[in-house]
Every structure is written in structure tokens, then in C-alpha cells.
Structure 1
Amino acid sequence: MVVLMVVLGAAVLHAVWNAMAHGVPDRLAGFALLGLSTGVIGLVAVLIVGLPPAGTWPYIVASVVLHCVYYFGLLASYELGQFSQMYPLARGTSPWVVAVVSIVVLHHSLAVAELAGVLLISAGLIALVFVGRTAGRAQTGALLAAIGTGLAIAAYTVVDGIAVHKMPVITYMGWVFMIQGFLVPIVSLCVRGPSVFRQSRSAVLTGLGGGVVSMTAYGLVLWAQTRGTLAAIAALRETSIIFGAIIGALFFHERFGPRRAVAAAVVVAGIILISTAD
């Protein structure tokens, strides 16, 4: 139950930082500021914990690469499509992919209730994407970008799930965030130049604050991965979409609607199934 509550708390924080990043008008600048913030925090952690154990660098490098793919894939998804459609599709693709990899490749066993919960959560999250929408040819690129982002999420989730059993969470987290955190603003500078950081004070504070919230959410999930089933945690983490929809309805006056409420109820049913399996 503790793991369940921690992952749900991380999901709330994940929804919050995505809302903060979405609130920055210049999305590239928002992601650059977010990366800068996490990079500085990661640097502080690295100075405290020192070098990672021998033989663990491949996991760190793989996670950094996959996280960069995730960040820029998410950015492309937001540029090509609507936030309320792309974010659920990207996050909803991940849980069932992680479940398949966990069972087939890593030979992890899932209880029937856990597997059913993962499938329900995935179905409910993806349903949130298509409720009341028709995906025309113009959105094909956006949908592909979102699905690719979801695959990147699944990949780094599996890598992280293995890595946290080979080194302390704080060590892994510090090195991954320091490297990827500084890479994102460097790439943004190469694309846009110094103007990428010429933002309003509120945008800068929002971007930097989003990085702190993002890192907190990620740290909670890494801790949970040392104590729970990888596929179940991956599915629970993506309930951030539900919390994002609630935030959108309360603060951005976005329409939720009865069909989306039904899809959310399916996700809740999946959460209940996973919790009963613990």
C-alpha cells in the first residue's frame, strides 16, 4: 500500500510539472529551463555521492539517451498536436509495452490481477486520447511522435527498473539527471541560440520550478521500483494523465465530459486491481 501511495503521489507531481511546462508559451525554452534546473540538482547530488559502481555506466548512458529522446519526442508531439491528446497517448502507450518486456524479456511474473490492472489502465488512458476526436491524416505525424515518445518512456522505464537494483537510487538519479539535464539546454542553445533563455520572469520561474517537481516525481518512482513490480508501477505512474485532466478542468477550464469520466473510471478500476494484488 505504501508503494501504491508513493507512485500515485509521483503521478500527481508528474501532472503538475507537465502543466507547468505547458504553461510556458515557448515550449523549447520551457524544456531547456526544466533541464537546466534538473541538471544543477543532479550535479549537487553527484558531488555528494561520487562515482557510480563499476559496470553501471551502460545503464546511466542508456537512460540519458532515452530520456533525451523522450523530452524532444514530447516536444515534437506538443508542437504537432494538441496537449490533451498527445500527452495521454504518449503515457498510455508505455505501461503495456513495459508489461510485455517484463514478462517476455526479463521473465518477471505478474499476478492475474496485476496484468488485468495494467491492461485496464492502458486502455483507459488511450481511450482518453480518442474520446470525441477523429484523427485525420494531418494528425498522423503527431500520433506517430506521441507513440514514439511512449516507446521511449517504456524503454527508459525498463532500464531504470534494472539499474536501481545495481546501485543506490540517489547515485543513479544524480548522474542521469546531471547529464541529461545539461544536454537538453545545450541542444536548445544549438537550435535557437541564446534567445531561448530570454523569457519573462514568470516563464523562467515556471520552467525552473517544473524541473524541481519533475525530479521529485522521478525519484519517488525510482524508489518504488526497488520495492514493487515494474509493470504495475509503470501503469500506476501513468495515472498522471487523470490528474492532468483534473488540473486542466479546474485551472485551465478544459472540458472533461462524461465520456472522459468513463475512461477515467476504467483507469481507477485498473488501480484497484493492482492494489488488491499487493
Structure 2
Amino acid sequence: MTLFVFLSVLFAAFLHALWNALIKVGVSKVTGMLIMTLVQGAAGLLIALSRPWPAAEVLPWLAASGLFHAGYKLFLAFAYEQGDLSRVYPIARGTAPMIVTGISALFLADMIAPLEYAGILILGTGIAVMARGAFTNGESRRLVPLALGSALMTAGYSLVDGLGARVSGDAMMYVGWLFALDALLFTPICLALRGRSVLRASARDWVTGGLAAAASYGAYAIAVWAMTQAPIALVAALRETSILFAVLIGWLVFGDRMDRGKAIAAGLIVSGMALTRL
């Protein structure tokens, strides 16, 4: 992984933490997620229409990715209704790279050095320490299966999109059609689960959702491009440094308590990140 790709993925990680924070501050997490999906879906369609039409072999990857993304955001929105950003986010984001690494090692051709595996393992340990508060601080246990469901969806779309973008040969086109399809799938699911009330939103909700959409689109476009330049498992693991950004946002903006466990976990995450660069 080159330095430019490394820094690009770090910036994508910050953007990912930012849009999650924006969704978390909203009154209705599902409505906020829907607004974000609609805005980035419209932007994705405009960009996709400016690019060449995807080849037939790309369409199954896009369809699978749209389903994974819709499931991911649904699980995540429900999880945020049950717990704080600093608890849900580490569980949801932390489990995914372990799944991706295992599948990549068994079935994909990407070569990952032992030191990079060590970095991924340390990242995972830091994430596990960060998530322990769900079991020790009297928080809702319901957030755990919801966050794990989000993690499974994340692992699914990480693998599908990394391979799909390589097949397409045009990451910008791929991401554009992906977000357009995501909006097409996610909207009826939200309406079926929450009814028309999910569409009730203030002007402030639309502004917040629009900002979240911009951050989300930028974060994922960078990540998918990076997966065409470096091993998928390594990019997916490095993206999880967004947990560190999320903890800092929670501490400095939301006033979350920074205890010793969070500080240790943050140190492990930074150490794991450094190892992936050696």
C-alpha cells in the first residue's frame, strides 16, 4: 500500500465516523439514514449517468452490493436507537475486518504479509476492548446483535465491492450505480417497517442528512478506489481506524466519558494501524 493510498483511506475513515455522528444526533435514526440514502442515491445516479454503462458481468456485483448496503444501514440505524455512538460503532465496524481477512486468506489472491496480519489482529483487539462497555456498563444488550448484523453486512459489501470494482474497471461508475441502487432498495424497506411517518422530516433534518450523504459518498468512493489499488482485507482493516475518529468525536463533541478502557483501545488501534504501514 502506497503512502497516498494509506492517507486516502485514513481520510475516508474520518468521513465515515463523521456521517455516523451526524445520523446519531438526529431524532429518528431511520429517517436520517433514509434522507442520507436518498441524497447520495441521487448524486450517485447523476455521476453514474456521466460514465459508461456497466458491463453485464458487473450487474450481479451491483445487485448483491445494493442488498448488503441496505441491510447494513438498517441494522445500524436500529442499533443507534439502542446505544451510544462509542459503543455501537466499534462493534459494528470492528467485527467486519476479521471476517473479510478470513475470507480473503481462504478464497482470494490478495497477498498479505505476516506483519500486516499482526496489525489487523491488534486492530481487532483494540476494537474488542472498545466494545466491552456494552456488557459492563449496564447498556442495552439489544444493541449487540443489531451491531453484529451490521458488521456481517459490512463484511459482505466490502468483499463484493472490492471485487466488483475490479471487474468494472471504473470505481466512480461502480459507486455511482451502487448508491442509486441502494436508494431504490432501502426506501421501500423503510416504508414497509416504519410507514409514511419515516418521511416526516424538518429542514434541519434534510440539511443534516445531506451533509451525512456527502461524507458517506466521499468515504466509500475513496474506499472502493483504494480496494482497486491495495489488498481488500488491508483496506477494510485500515478503514476501521474510523473507530478512533468516532471516539474522539464522541468525547469532544458529544461529551462522552473517556475512560481508561477507551484510551487503551485507542492506543491498540493506532498501533495496529502503524503495523499495517511497516
Scaled by the length of structure 2, the TM-score of the pair is 0.94
Residues 1-278 of structure 1 aligned to structure 2 (within 5 Å): 1-131=3-133, 133-134=135-136, 139=141, 141-167=142-168, 168-276=170-278
> Residue deviations 1:235-256, cap 9 Å, x none?
1101111101101111111112
> Residue deviations 1:124-143, cap 9 Å, x none?
0121011484277961x421
Q: What's the offset of the Cα at 1:208?
A: 1.8
User: Quick one: distance in 1 between partners of 2:67 and 2:137?
Assistant: 30
The one-letter amino acid of 2:14's match is V
> 1:191/1:148 Cα in 2 relative to 1: closer, same or farther (>3 Å)?
closer
User: Quick one: distance in 2 between partners of 1:98 and 1:135?
Assistant: 29
> Residue deviations 1:162-201, cap 9 Å, x none?
1111110011111110010233233323333443232222
User: Quick one: distance in 2 between partners of 1:16 and 1:156?
Assistant: 20
The one-letter amino acid of 1:170's match is M
Scaled by the length of structure 1, the TM-score of the pair is 0.94
> 1:72/1:196 Cα in 2 relative to 1: closer, same or farther (>3 Å)?
same
Tell me, yes or no, if the aligned pair for 2:10 and 2:239 is still in contact at 8 Å: yes
| Identical residues among aligned pairs (%) | 35
User: Quick one: distance in 2 between partners of 1:138 and 1:19?
Assistant: 19
> 1:13/1:57 Cα in 2 relative to 1: closer, same or farther (>3 Å)?
same
Look up the SS of the partner of 2:34 in the other structure.
helix
> 1:24/1:137 Cα in 2 relative to 1: closer, same or farther (>3 Å)?
closer
> Residue deviations 1:220-271, cap 9 Å, x none?
1011111112111111101111101101111111112222111111111111
User: Quick one: distance in 1 between partners of 2:194 and 2:116?
Assistant: 45
User: Quick one: distance in 2 between partners of 1:263 and 1:29?
Assistant: 31
User: Quick one: distance in 2 between partners of 1:58 and 1:136?
Assistant: 43
Q: What's the offset of the Cα at 1:53?
A: 1.3
Tell me, yes or no, if the aligned pair for 2:34 and 2:187 is still in contact at 8 Å: yes
Q: What's the offset of the Cα at 1:152?
A: 1.1
Tell me, yes or no, if the aligned pair for 2:54 and 2:173 is still in contact at 8 Å: yes
Q: What's the offset of the Cα at 1:51?
A: 1.8
Structure 2 unmatched ranges of 5 or more:
none
> 1:236/1:89 Cα in 2 relative to 1: closer, same or farther (>3 Å)?
same
The one-letter amino acid of 1:251's match is V
Tell me, yes or no, if the aligned pair for 2:66 and 2:185 is still in contact at 8 Å: no
Q: What's the offset of the Cα at 1:19?
A: 0.5
Tell me, yes or no, if the aligned pair for 1:92 and 1:123 is still in contact at 8 Å: no
Look up the SS of the partner of 2:50 in the other structure.
helix
Structure 1 unmatched ranges of 5 or more:
none
